[in-house]
A and B are shown apart, each in its own frame.
Chain A
Amino acid sequence: MTNVLTFILVAIIKIVITVFVLLTAVAYTVWLERKVVGRMQNRWGPTRVGPFGLLQPLADGLKFILKEDLTPPYVNKPIYILAPMLAVVMALTSIAIIPIGPTLHIGDYATPIQITGVTDANGQSSDIAIGLLIILGVTSIGVYGIALAGWSSNSKYSLLGSLRASAQMVSYEIALGLSLVGVLMITGSFSLRAIVEHQQGLMFGFIPRWNFFYGFQFVAFFIYLMAAFAETNRIPFDLPEAETELVAGYHTEYSAMKFAMFFMAEYANMVTVACLASVMFLGGWSGPVFGPPIVQSLLPVLYFMARIFFFLFLYIWIRGTLPRFRYDQLMGFGWKFLLPLAIANIVITAFVIAWRA
């Protein structure tokens, strides 16, 4: 009985810490984006609230909470309220599946640094056997948040935005899923923890055994990266919210906290996609570890965070650099270039694996 209680207590602590870190990361990604894009465009970005504008997310949050929450009279009310909730819940759920670090040992107690993971009596950590599929499933349910938001708003700009968004997300989900198949074939498991553990160590003594190098999955990595940009509706694939054509796309009619929910969902999705990219292609938390046991289990978490920061910076960097696609180009790029390339990658990887075996 005490075992069950300890397990529940540890799970609650993990959930609280993870959600707190994720929400803070989401808030500060917005700050980072404004700061970095500002510098790229020869401006300062936020500077007024706190040193370097560091308290800006706090001020933004206050503003969102205190603003009037306007519900236009012509909307389909139940769905209009449901849509942002669906978007943000699905965006925040995925983080539960992500393995953030190896096993943490505190005295005799051992637990994996992951919400949905268990450690058995031998100190072996494991997680859900179909972790990757759950993330893909949750992401595909998240599409409804955007689709329903546009439809229930009863406004032509919202509807057009959400039509674009859902068509784009459904199309690029296929390329995204297929780009991960190569990695799955190399590892032979859907479990994210198993995938990361498979990438530990070095080959030839100096190149990390990441799937990016090891299985020649860098093609798959770039397919994944492009599909991920489209999945999160970021520039250069941000047609659903192209402000010059559609005001603000699917969230035109939303205000205050409901609008903030869409914003949170978008940035949480960015974090999830970055986590998945690190886990699948860049070795997750792998890196040199040293020092006492507690440092040895916490240092990999820092390596993992560093990778996520790199991806978030890349998002912002590309936002500051590239113009937007045209819609037919976007669809053509997804279906006629990324999809065949992903299938070719699967076939070649399969042949190489069969040849080696």
Chain B
Amino acid sequence: MHLILFIIFAVFCVGGALGLLISKHPINSALSLIVVMVSLAVLYLLLGAEFVAAIQVIVYAGAIMVLFVFTIMLLNAGEEERTKGSRVATALGFPALIIGAATVIYAILAKIGITGSLSLGQFRGTPEAVSDLLFRDFLLPFEVTSVLILIAIMGAVLLARKGSAE
């Protein structure tokens, strides 16, 4: 049951990611990205990380992507124009990308030495587990991050004000 669901949503996820890259219209790309995020949430759920899954849907699919769609609607962005691009980039780009990705994956696997030992449903992802980690084990990094985000928000407000005053 878990495996069937995993395969279905993994296919959705990869399909959405490809759709994001291939589709010409920005709104279709945005919708593909929403599909990717929701299917990722289901994958988290299958691992047993229920809280992370819910937050993934609420924050990423429900809030951040709404702003993306919003911007596309406001700008009324049309279809992308395709350029041919340089032939050298096409010839060298894909092999280089594959080699780079393979190196990174190999390095990670060699370092940690995990080759698929986490079974479905093993992940610690209940609200209690997440809050234990956030508010006890990693309290300082968590608080520092929140201050950092607050500073970023204030910076954004300041920049927006400056723009409208001129």
What residues make up the interface of A, taking CB atoms closer than 8 Å to B? Answer: 76, 79, 129-130, 133-134, 136-137, 139-141, 143-144, 147-148, 150-151, 159, 162-163, 166-167, 170, 173, 190
Contact = CB atoms under 8 A, between A and B. Distances in A.
Given A147-B66, A159-B73, A163-B70, 12 more contacts: A130-B50, A130-B51, A130-B127, A137-B57, A137-B62, A140-B57, A141-B57, A143-B62, A147-B69, A147-B73, A170-B63, A190-B127
Given A130-B127, A166-B66, A140 B58 contact: yes
B154 interface: no
A163 B74 contact: yes
Interface in B25-77: 27, 31, 34, 38, 50-51, 54-55, 57-58, 61-63, 66-67, 69-70, 72-74
B54 A130 contact: yes
The binding surface of chain B is classed by DSSP as helix
B103 interface: no
Nearest to A163: B73
Nearest to A162: B73
A129 B50 contact: yes
Interface of B: 27, 31, 34, 38, 50-51, 54-55, 57-58, 61-63, 66-67, 69-70, 72-74, 126-127
A8 B99 CA distance: 49
Given A147-B70, A162-B73, A137 B54 contact: yes
B58 A133 contact: yes
B107 to A, nearest CB: 35
B102 to A, nearest CB: 36
Contacts of B27: 76, 79, 148, 151
B61 to A, nearest CB: 6
Choose among B58, B61, B67, B74 the residue with the greatest number of A CB atoms under 10 Å from its CB: B58
